[in-house]
């Protein structure tokens, strides 16, 4: 296995060098100082064409799009060097014609007629076609349902089609026994759990045609007394309960995925170490172990002043705050081991049950955290692929030996995951107990850091040597490479989608909803070879039918809604397919424009299969947009490109924004929200309340309002394309949760939204909510 991995890494390096050499060659050819290159001979042209065709055959068979259409609707062809590097990442080397032939044969073998995959997806009450034409009609089969019922039958094959199983009405993961083979049948409902379903289950009025609303918050930015400088799960629970008391039915939060405990400088929630476990930086140390234990620990460490100082900062100081929190948690863990574990207290029993339920995956994550810290401290290694070879495979005996030798360290990371899970679970319980029909909406990042726990633990399921990103478009002309990896679609099929299902279950575990970042990735992802320009990538197709069915099945099992972030260049027909399966899209105020005149669409034109929003974490707030604050930021950090006409790009952008402001104000007037005989307000008086009401009056089943807009803030959480130039993922709310909801202006804004949403649903006006004391 290690020789195979070494060979793959060598192939990736060769492909990358080949791509760089090719690019350098093109530059030399185009340079005026170089002598003209001799024309290639007919034989060399034929050879090159034959090699390109071989690579393209393998690429097409593997799911890559050899041709694609750019933002200007021009047809583009992916260079064969790019395809070769990407195929190597899928374990399909094509450096020579012989390798290309072997890779093509491997793909054919995986899809041969007689082969059945370990998992087949289907929908309830619909005949199930088995992807194996060699199975004869009349063959007997046996299906063992999750409920315990057994179905016996014979395969049918009408009109020479694939062999069919009779429809199954019961959703679930059932076992098909066919001759001597066992195949999992993942039978899903036709659609996800919806907002209407959530309303009916919670007894909320208007369940048939809901018009709920909720808040979107950056978890790290919430404040409460004693939080030590980072928003935690206790602040989240309090925020959820207070929101629910004012009529909110959902609270969408930034990703809570596990980060790198040994590297607190990595804090972007969309670049996690693992999407299976939780960010321990959000633990409230007192939530499970008590306030007294925390006070005594801070006193013993002499850390009380530092804890309070971090709490007062306007921005999260991730390195300092996380380092101190881990120090406190480690001391509390020692106390827990000495008192609870030795005395076998109820808390110790809960911890043991948590570890047993987490199983191998949880143990692997804890082992990675301990190994990662040791390798960084002793050898400066920041990527597990540069660890000693015997430690790069979690199933090796050397990893087991490390775990035995460092059991206490590994148990510390299990302990932190236990506290994190308890905190997030409590926040969801608080939301539902306070009346939310949905509760927390978890955010699932599009990928994970290839140097992290997820890629180490599921190494055979992940792509290696590539980055997920986006091709050049009108807003990012160089394209984007996000430095993330994700699942290999080839491995998904071959291994029965186990890694994908594990991820879904982990994200649904403590939430009533799921937001899928870059949901376009269910159909295709733009992949860029490691070290290449973001523009030098290609689209790789994913098994969208299987993925949508698995999402729907897990959505129903967890009784949670699903939202897909469908912004950007959306493939034709994708939004309709998502809507058919009950996934809500996202409609953002800034993008809801008429094609004819560029004006803003009226609320009634937004449609009913999406979530309505004023903005997202990557876009300007209402106040920031109105004031042109985002334009100033882009100019400040060098994101404003020079114009060919020589005009000042900032002045042009501000002039365009002035036109857009007039268009938005006109739309607010046409909707009856702003007075018709009043001109647009000045820059310093952004129409925040009017924009909130505009979005509230849409017929969407759910409207989500970023907390920044509810507070009328100009700053946005993240400025794409920036790293240190803008304080991404660091801004904190100015007031603690209790003070925030006690503020009359904030409470009145929530009340106004609740009343407009109630009117949009055709129901009675929302009652006056309780005021926080």
CATH number at residue 201: 3.20.20.80
Domain count, the chain: 3
Backbone angles phi, psi at 15, to 5 degrees: -60, -40
Length of the chain: 773
Give the model's confidence band at 485: pLDDT under 50 very low, under 70 low, under 90 confident, else very high. Answer: very high
Lookup result for tokens 């006070």? 295
The answer to whether residue 629 is domain-embedded is no
Select from 262, 304, 268 the least CA-distant residue to 416.
Answer: 262
pLDDT one-digit tens code per residue, 267-317? 999 999 999 999 999 999 999 999 999 999 999 999 999 999 999 999 999
pLDDT one-digit tens code per residue, 725-756? 999 999 999 999 999 999 999 999 999 999 99
In percent, the amount of the chain with pLDDT more than 90 equals: 76
The answer to whether residue 683 is domain-embedded is no
pLDDT one-digit tens code per residue, 655-704? 999 999 999 999 999 999 999 989 999 999 999 999 999 999 999 999 99
How many whole angstroms separate alpha carbon 255 and alpha carbon 464? 23
Give me the pLDDT at residue 773, please.
32
The answer to whether residue 26 is domain-embedded is no
- Bridge partners (DSSP) listed for residue 156: 164
HSE value, Cβ hemisphere, 13 Å, CA-based, for 721: 18
- Please determine, for residue 765, whether its predicted confidence score (pLDDT) is greater than 50: no
DSSP H or E segment with residue 539: strand 538-541
Give me the pLDDT at residue 303, please.
97
List own/partner pairs for 470-476 with CB under 8 A and 24 or more apart: 470/526, 470/534, 470/568, 470/569, 471/68, 471/70, 471/71, 471/526, 471/534, 471/535, 471/537, 471/539, 471/569, 472/70, 472/71, 472/534, 472/535, 473/70, 473/71, 473/568, 473/569, 474/71, 476/721
Give me the pLDDT at residue 644, please.
86
Give me the pLDDT at residue 478, please.
77
How many whole angstroms separate alpha carbon 482 and alpha carbon 618? 14
Domain boundary among 147, 168, 188: 188
- Bridge partners (DSSP) listed for residue 383: none
Give the model's confidence band at 158: pLDDT under 50 very low, under 70 low, under 90 confident, else very high. Answer: low
pLDDT one-digit tens code per residue, 214-232? 999 999 999 999 999 999 9
| Least reliable range by pLDDT among 47-56, 352-361, 521-530, 757-766 | 757-766
Query: In this structure, are residues 604 and 557 in contact, taking their beta carbons and an 8 Å threshold?
Result: no
The answer to whether residue 675 is domain-embedded is no
Residues 404 and 499 in one domain: yes
Structure token pair of residue 400: 């087991």
Q: What string of DSSP letters covers 404-455?
A: HHTHHHHHHHHHHHHHHHHHHHHHHHHHHHTT-SSEEEEEE-S-B-TTSHHH
Domain boundary among 168, 188, 208: 188
The number of beta carbons lying within 10 Å of the beta carbon of residue 176 is 21
Give me the pLDDT at residue 29, please.
34
Q: Are strands 439-444 and 274-278 parallel, antiparallel or unpaired?
A: unpaired
For range 7-12, the mean pLDDT:
41
Structure token pair of residue 369: 């955290």
Domain boundary among 170, 188, 206: 188
Q: Are strands 524-529 and 466-470 parallel, antiparallel or unpaired?
A: antiparallel
Burial letters for 704-725: b for 16+ Cβ neighbours within 10 Å, e otherwise? Answer: bbbbbbbbbbbbbbbbebbeee
Select from 484, 568, 464 the least CA-distant residue to 269.
Answer: 484
Lookup result for tokens 């100019």? 635
Residues 183 and 208 in one domain: no
Give me the pLDDT at residue 253, please.
98
SS3 519: helix
Give the model's confidence band at 762: pLDDT under 50 very low, under 70 low, under 90 confident, else very high. Answer: low
Residues 497 and 549 in one domain: yes
- Bridge partners (DSSP) listed for residue 214: 250, 704
CATH number at residue 160: 2.60.40
Give me the pLDDT at residue 642, please.
80
Give the model's confidence band at 472: pLDDT under 50 very low, under 70 low, under 90 confident, else very high. Answer: confident
SS3 341: helix
- Please determine, for residue 531, whether its predicted confidence score (pLDDT) is greater than 60: yes
The number of beta carbons lying within 10 Å of the beta carbon of residue 767 is 11
In percent, the amount of the chain with pLDDT more than 70 equals: 90
| Least reliable range by pLDDT among 18-27, 351-360, 579-588, 671-680 | 18-27
How many whole angstroms separate alpha carbon 555 and alpha carbon 577? 17
Give the model's confidence band at 205: pLDDT under 50 very low, under 70 low, under 90 confident, else very high. Answer: confident
- Please determine, for residue 715, whether its predicted confidence score (pLDDT) is greater than 90: yes
Give the DSSP letter of residue 621.
-
Domain that holds residue 295: 195-584+701-760
Give the model's confidence band at 340: pLDDT under 50 very low, under 70 low, under 90 confident, else very high. Answer: confident
Q: Which residue has the higher pLDDT, 479 or 183?
A: 183
- Average pLDDT of the chain? 90
How many whole angstroms separate alpha carbon 165 and alpha carbon 135? 12
Give the model's confidence band at 139: pLDDT under 50 very low, under 70 low, under 90 confident, else very high. Answer: confident
Give me the pLDDT at residue 16, please.
42
Select from 725, 726, 745, 727 the least CA-distant residue to 735.
Answer: 745
Structure token pair of residue 564: 């897909």
Give me the pLDDT at residue 20, please.
41
pLDDT one-digit tens code per residue, 244-273? 999 999 999 999 999 999 999 999 999 999
Residues 285 and 361 in one domain: yes
The answer to whether residue 599 is domain-embedded is no
DSSP H or E segment with residue 656: helix 649-670
- Please determine, for residue 145, whether its predicted confidence score (pLDDT) is greater than 80: yes
Backbone angles phi, psi at 448, to 5 degrees: -140, 165
Burial letters for 63-74: b for 16+ Cβ neighbours within 10 Å, e otherwise? Answer: bbbbebeeeeee
Give me the pLDDT at residue 22, please.
38
Give me the pLDDT at residue 632, please.
95
How many whole angstroms separate alpha carbon 230 and alpha carbon 395? 35
Give me the pLDDT at residue 770, please.
43
The answer to whether residue 681 is domain-embedded is no
For range 475-502, the mean pLDDT:
91
Residues 386 and 420 in one domain: yes
List own/partner pairs for 130-136 with CB under 8 A and 24 or more apart: 130/155, 130/162, 130/163, 130/164, 130/165, 131/162, 132/162, 132/163, 133/162, 133/163, 135/162, 135/163, 135/178, 136/163
Give the DSSP letter of residue 374.
H
pLDDT one-digit tens code per residue, 103-135? 999 998 887 655 789 999 999 999 998 876 667
Residues 151 and 272 in one domain: no
Cα torsion at 338, 340, 343, 344 (round to 10°)?
A: -130
Lookup result for tokens 């005996």? 397
Q: Considering only CA atoms, give the Rg of the chain.
A: 28
Residues 272 and 367 in one domain: yes
- Please determine, for residue 154, whether its predicted confidence score (pLDDT) is greater than 70: yes
Structure token pair of residue 716: 């946005």
pLDDT one-digit tens code per residue, 588-616? 999 999 988 899 999 999 988 999 999 99
Select from 765, 731, 603 the least CA-distant residue to 317.
Answer: 731
Residues 133 and 234 in one domain: no
- Please determine, for residue 371, whether its predicted confidence score (pLDDT) is greater than 80: yes
HSE value, Cβ hemisphere, 13 Å, CA-based, for 408: 9
How many whole angstroms separate alpha carbon 352 and alpha carbon 513? 28
Q: Which residues contact 215 (CB under 8 A, 6 or more apart)?
A: 239, 243, 248, 250, 251, 252, 704, 705, 706, 707, 710
Query: In this structure, are residues 177 and 143 in contact, taking their beta carbons and an 8 Å threshold?
Result: yes
Q: Which residues contact 197 (CB under 8 A, 6 or more apart)?
A: 559, 561
- Please determine, for residue 761, whether its predicted confidence score (pLDDT) is greater than 80: no
Classify the C-alpha dihedral 368-369-374-379 as positive or negative: positive
For range 353-382, the mean pLDDT:
97
Residues 458 and 346 in one domain: yes
Give me the pLDDT at residue 767, please.
42
Cα torsion at 431, 434, 436, 441 (round to 10°)?
A: -10
Give pTM, 2 decimals: 0.91
Select from 543, 446, 551, 548 the least CA-distant residue to 495.
Answer: 543
- Please determine, for residue 3, whether its predicted confidence score (pLDDT) is greater than 70: no
Select from 517, 452, 523 the least CA-distant residue to 483.
Answer: 452
Sheet of strand 561-564, all strands in order from the earlier edge strand to the far edge: 561-564, 513-516, 439-444, 250-253, 212-217, 702-706, 610-613, 585-588
Exposed, middle or buried by CB within 10 Å (0-12, 13-18, 19+), for 149? exposed
Residues 481 and 531 in one domain: yes
Residues 203 and 167 in one domain: no
The answer to whether residue 680 is domain-embedded is no
The answer to whether residue 265 is domain-embedded is yes
| Least reliable range by pLDDT among 90-104, 374-388, 518-532, 758-772 | 758-772
Residues 252 and 179 in one domain: no
């Amino acid at each position: 296995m290690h020789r195979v991995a070494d060979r793959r890494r060598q192939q990736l390096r060769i492909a990358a060098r080949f791509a760089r050499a090719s690019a350098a060659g093109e530059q030399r050819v185009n340079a005026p100082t170089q002598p003209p290159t001799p024309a290639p001979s007919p034989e060399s042209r034929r050879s090159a064409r034959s090699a390109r065709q071989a690579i393209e055959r393998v690429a097409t068979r593997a799911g890559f799009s050899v041709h694609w259409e750019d933002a200007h609707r021009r047809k583009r062809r992916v260079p064969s060097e790019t395809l070769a590097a990407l195929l190597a990442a899928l374990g399909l080397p094509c450096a020579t014609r012989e390798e290309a032939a072997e890779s093509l044969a491997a793909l054919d073998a995986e899809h041969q007629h007689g082969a059945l995959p370990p998992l087949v997806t289907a929908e309830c009450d619909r005949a199930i076609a088995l992807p194996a034409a060699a199975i004869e009609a009349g063959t007997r089969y046996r299906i063992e349902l999750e409920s315990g019922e057994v179905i016996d039958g014979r395969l049918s094959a009408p009109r020479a089609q694939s062999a069919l199983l009779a429809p199954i009405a019961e959703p679930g993961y059932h076992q098909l026994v066919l001759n001597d083979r066992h195949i999992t049948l993942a039978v899903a409902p036709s659609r996800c759990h919806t907002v209407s379903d959530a309303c009916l289950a919670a007894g909320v009025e208007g369940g048939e045609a809901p018009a709920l609303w909720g808040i979107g918050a950056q978890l790290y930015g919430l404040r409460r007394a004693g939080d030590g400088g980072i928003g935690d799960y206790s602040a989240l629970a309090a925020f959820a309960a207070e929101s629910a008391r004012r009529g909110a039915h959902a609270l969408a939060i930034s990703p809570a995925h596990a980060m790198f405990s040994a590297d607190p400088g990595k804090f972007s929630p969309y670049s996690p170490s693992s999407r299976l476990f939780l960010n321990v930086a959000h633990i409230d140390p007192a939530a499970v172990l008590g306030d007294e234990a925390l006070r005594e620990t801070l006193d013993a460490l002499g850390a009380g002043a530092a804890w309070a100082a971090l709490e007062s900062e306007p921005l999260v100081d991730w390195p300092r705050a996380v380092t101190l929190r881990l120090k406190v948690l480690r001391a509390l863990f020692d106390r827990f081991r000495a008192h609870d574990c030795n005395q076998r207290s109820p808390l110790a029993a809960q911890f043991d049950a948590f570890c047993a339920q987490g199983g191998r995956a949880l143990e692997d994550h804890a082992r990675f955290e301990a190994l990662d810290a040791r390798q960084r401290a002793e050898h400066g290694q920041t990527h597990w692929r540069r660890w000693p070879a015997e430690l790069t495979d979690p199933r090796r005996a050397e990893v087991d030996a490390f775990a035995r030798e460092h059991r206490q360290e590994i148990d510390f990371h299990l302990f932190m995951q236990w506290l994190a899970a308890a905190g997030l679970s409590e926040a969801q319980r608080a939301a539902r107990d306070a009346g939310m029909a949905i509760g927390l909406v978890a955010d699932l990042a599009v990928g994970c850091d290839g140097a992290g726990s997820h890629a180490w633990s599921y190494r055979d399921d992940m792509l290696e040597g590539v980055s997920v990103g986006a091709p050049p478009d009108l807003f990012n002309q160089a394209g984007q490479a996000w430095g993330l990896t994700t699942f290999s679609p080839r491995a998904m099929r071959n291994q029965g989608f186990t890694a994908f299902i594990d991820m879904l279950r982990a994200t649904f575990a403590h939430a009533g909803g799921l937001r899928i970042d870059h949901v376009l990735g269910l159909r295709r992802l733009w992949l860029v070879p490691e070290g290449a320009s973001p523009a030098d990538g290609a689209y790789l197709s994913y098994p969208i039918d299987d993925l949508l069915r698995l999402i729907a099945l897990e959505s129903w099992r967890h009784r949670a809604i699903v939202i897909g972030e469908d912004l950007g260049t959306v493939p034709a027909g994708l939004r309709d397919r998502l809507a058919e399966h009950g996934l809500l899209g996202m409609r953002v105020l800034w993008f809801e424009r008429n094609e004819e005149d560029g004006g803003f669409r009226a609320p009634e034109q937004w449609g009913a299969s999406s979530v309505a929003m004023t903005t997202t974490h990557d876009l300007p707030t209402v106040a920031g947009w109105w004031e042109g604050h985002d334009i100033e930021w882009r100019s400040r950090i060098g994101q404003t490109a020079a114009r060919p006409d020589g005009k000042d790009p900032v002045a042009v952008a501000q002039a365009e924004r002035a036109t857009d402001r007039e268009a938005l104000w006109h739309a607010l007037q046409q909707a009856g929200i702003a007075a018709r005989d009043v001109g647009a307000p000045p820059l310093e008086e952004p129409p925040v309340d009017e924009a909130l009401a505009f979005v509230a009056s849409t017929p969407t089943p759910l409207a989500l309002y970023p907390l920044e807009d509810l507070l009328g803030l100009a700053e946005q959480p993240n400025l794409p394309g920036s790293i240190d130039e803008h304080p991404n993922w660091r801004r904190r709310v100015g007031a603690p949760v209790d003070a925030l909801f006690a503020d009359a202006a904030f409470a009145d804004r929530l009340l106004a939204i609740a009343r407009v949403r109630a009117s949009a649903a055709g129901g009675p006006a929302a009652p006056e909510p309780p005021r926080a004391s």
